[in-house]
Amino acid sequence: MEKMMVGLSLALSAIVWGQKGPVKTNLTPYSYQTFNCDNKGYFDASKYEKEEIDGVNKLLYKFNGVHFDTNPIFKLSSLEEVRRNKDQHLENLEKQYQEKKQELYSLKVINQPVWKKLYENAIQTFENEYELNKEEIMAFSDPTTLKNSRFYETCRESIDAISSPDREKMFASWKAYTELKSKNNADPQGVMNRFNAKLNDPQSEDYALIDMIGLSFHNCANSSFRQKRDEEGNVYRDFDKIFTKLKKNCDEP
């Protein structure tokens, strides 16, 4: 009887000890850079894979802005160059697209709604930015190509003016756009004076295309697929929450 009681006591002790024992976690160190900070912390390897965290990290800090290296067109010389070397610019854009697409589409991200949505948005933004750059390169040589733009329904007014055979229609739209833009400028009259000088220049049509394609159409199309910055702030904080004992070493702003 005494031996039975000792055995029962030991068994109960083992059960109690098992209940009170700490839950084991596999904390793994992880370092990453944000915009002005070096960050070091630990993630629970029983919940996340390093490859998944790397994927989210790239979405936040590599695929969160402009993806393609292209030269904006602001001067007549730049316009002439992109027309002269249109095929080369398209080829360079395509090369960048294929390289970046391979990396983006092969990312593995954490299987949670916030990160899956972020990934979907990144892919959509990437594809739209590529299409916008391609359409602009082609439109600077042939404005009528914008009639087939992916962004036609969103930017119909700008596209109709740019692609119209009636150049006066484009000039009128150009003037209306410039007048609207001048209202947010510290020197609105100066903006209009520069516009009038371009309007009366022998290459007025080229000046109009620079502004209407590179600014009016570009801004319209670009804003239709870019994620709002104030919404992005939350996901950066969510990413930091993955880590325990997180330490930030930040440069002074």
Exposed (0-12), middle (13-18) or buried (19+): which is 4, by Cβ within 10 Å?
A: exposed
- Over residues 201-222, the mean pLDDT reads 97
Distance CA 84, CA 56 (A): 40
Structure confidence at residue 12 (pLDDT)? 46
Exposed (0-12), middle (13-18) or buried (19+): which is 76, by Cβ within 10 Å?
A: middle
Confidence check: pLDDT of 16 > 50? no
Residue 87 half-sphere exposure toward CB, CA atoms < 13 A: 0
Reference 217, options 173, 179, 166; nearest CA is: 173
Distance CA 221, CA 127 (A): 13
Percent of the chain with pLDDT over 90: 81
What's 240's DSSP letter? Answer: H
Contact 157, 217 (CB under 8 A): no
Structure confidence at residue 189 (pLDDT)? 95
Confidence check: pLDDT of 20 > 80? no
The three-state secondary structure class of 226 is coil
Tokens representing 84?
């002269």
Comparison of pLDDT for 186 and 64, the residue scoring more: 186
Distance CA 84, CA 81 (A): 5
Taking the alpha carbons of 54, 60, 62, 68 in that order, is the dihedral positive or negative?
positive
**pLDDT digit string, tens, across residues 39-85:** 999 999 999 999 999 999 999 999 988 899 998 899 999 999 999 99
Structure confidence at residue 225 (pLDDT)? 93
φ, ψ for residue 41, nearest 5 deg: -155, -165
Residue 11's alpha-carbon distances to 2, 15, 17, 59, in angstroms, are 14, 6, 10, 51
**pLDDT digit string, tens, across residues 87-126:** 999 999 999 999 999 999 999 999 999 999 999 999 999 9
Contact 10, 209 (CB under 8 A): no
Distance CA 58, CA 245 (A): 22
